[in-house]
Amino acid sequence: MELLERRIKEDGKVYPGGVLKVDSFLNHQLDVRLFAEMGKEWARLFAEDNITKILTIEASGIGIACIVAQYFDVPVIFAKKSKTKNIAGDVYTSQVESYTHGRTYDIIVSKQFLHPEDRVLLIDDFLANGSALMGLVKLVEDAGATTVGAGIAVEKAFQTGGALVREYGVRVESLARVASMSEDGSIRFC
């Protein structure tokens, strides 16, 4: 998606360790108009897939997922990174490793919101090592539901996550695929 790639080139910053900082528009301060364009594109790409739920992981994916859900007229579920007092009853759980935070989380979704008849579109801001996305896929599988695919804002194509998820059989539609980036700030797209 040319609009997103242009925004990454203009406002993104490359940090040591393969970190692409896009917090001025994607995952801290949110550009809702950009999200709307992203939502339109995923709505076009997944138009024939009869999606019934959008699933993301807290926290960065929530804003994007909410805008996307408007185009499908379906609810958003977000996997929480810890069990809280307001989640009662049975839950689906999975472990994910955060590339950015360098730690492992147990993510959970209440069984009340994910059912075998659901057709789920996964939405997230980044795809790097694939752990978060595979954790979401596991939650959907545990519910007996169907993962229709994944909408990713930015995929680091030079890391293994995209290949891992695709080899597992999940359709991945990334709107910006970063082929390489260097600490001098240069970013090259696929």
pLDDT of residue 100: 64
Domains and CATH numbers, the chain: 2-183 (3.40.50.2020)
59 phi-psi bin (left φ>0, alpha ψ -120 to 50, beta other): alpha
Residues of the chain with pLDDT under 70: 83-89, 99-100
pLDDT of residue 83: 61
pTM: 0.94
Instruction: For residue range 69-92, list pLDDT tens digits in order.
Output: 999 999 999 999 876 655 656 899
The residue written with tokens 């959907």 in the block is 140
Contact 159, 129 (CB under 8 A): yes
Task: Tell me which amino acid residue 144 is.
Answer: G
pLDDT of residue 98: 74
Dig out the tokens for 175 from the structure: 């709107």
Beta bridge partners, 187, equal 181
